[in-house]
Amino acid sequence: MTERRRFRMSSTVFIVLRQGDMFCSLRRVATGWMDGHFSIPAGAVEEGESLLAAALREAQEEVGVVIEVADLRHAHTLHCRTRGEGWVGHFFVAERWQGTPMLGEPEKHSDLHWTSFQALPEPFVPYVRNALLGIAAGETYSEYGYNTHFLRLLRPELG
């Protein structure tokens, strides 16, 4: 019997620090990827790390806040393809945390401000924009960068 080999895909966590209709956004700089675009606190899941642990770590690293596990709610999963590779994004929402959000990694972010779901600043990382709009609409799954022909059959509004 041959060993079963599974396809492996990297995961990224995204943290939506939410206050009513507003959330914390960051402008990317000097990263080599989407510099100048707005996004939200996020980062790769490290080897041996759970999604929740990664989200808590990234929130503290990027914006200096401490979130309790009980205050994180999984809100959206994004299956994304960028730079020719597929990966999965897990979006968590927190409405409570300790500390005041600040630029925790000023070498990667030049601006932190509160943004409305109805008035996202430009330019915004496109796949993060799509996921945030999905979260605002109550959608728990989206895809970006894949052929979505089959989705258009189910949801014609996707165009």
Q: Mean pLDDT of successive 10-residue segments in the chain (159 residues)? A: 83 97 96 96 97 98 98 97 92 98 96 94 95 94 77 52
**C-alpha closest to that of 101 among 92, 112, 109, 111:** 112
Whole-number pLDDT of residue 146 = 82
Whole-number pLDDT of residue 128 = 96
Q: Which residue ranges form the domains of the chain, and what is each CATH number?
A: 10-158 (3.90.79.10)
Whole-number pLDDT of residue 151 = 53
**C-alpha closest to that of 65 among 27, 107, 95:** 95
Residue 112 backbone phi and psi in degrees, to 5: -130, 125
Beta strand residue intervals within the chain, DSSP E: 10-19, 22-28, 38-39, 42-44, 72-82, 85-94, 109-116, 141-144
| Interatomic CA distance for residues 40 and 3, integer angstroms | 40
